Amino acid sequence: MRQVVLGIGDLGASNTPGEVVKTYALGSCVAVMMLYPKTRAVGMVHVALPESSINPAKGQSCPGYFADLGVPLLLREMVRLGCPGNGRGIIVKLAGGASVMGHNDTFNIGKRNILAVKRSLWSLGMGAIAEDVGANYSRTVTMSVDSGLITISCPGRGQWEI
């Protein structure tokens, strides 16, 4: 099984049988995952911050880092793999957005990322049908091209699907 491993700000999509798209250690970051069952295309972007306006240069070099740029870019990548450009029929799921600093999380980056991702999806006429967001723990997320299953794992918490 080949893995497409995403780091912070990375985006990946595949419709190659046997592949998985995976990202590690989502803390306050949010993984936006798209699946198009008709073609078995899956895609994910690892969003670190809500808005590219805070660092336009970074937005140019790494658009997946920001929700406002990464989500539309992920949809374009899914379209490249044969999905409809209007997003119809694409299943969207979210994971991450934790408050890793606990009650001292002054900037609320996790919550802000979740809201920014949802706002970006809504602007495209899309929305998530499932999510595992918030709380105070890191997540590793794996999407399978073959099954379309999304598995989340966390040390000390086990593994589950959304």
- Residue 83 designated active-site: no
Are the CB atoms for 148 and 42 separated by under 8 Å? Answer: yes
By the 8 A CB rule, do 27 and 8 touch? Answer: no
Catalytic residue among 29, 62, 83, 154: 29
Which amino acid belongs to residue 103? H
Taking CA atoms, 157 is separated from 21, 121, 133, 138, in Å, by 21, 29, 15, 10
The two tokens of residue 109 are 């980056």
Active-site residue numbers?
29
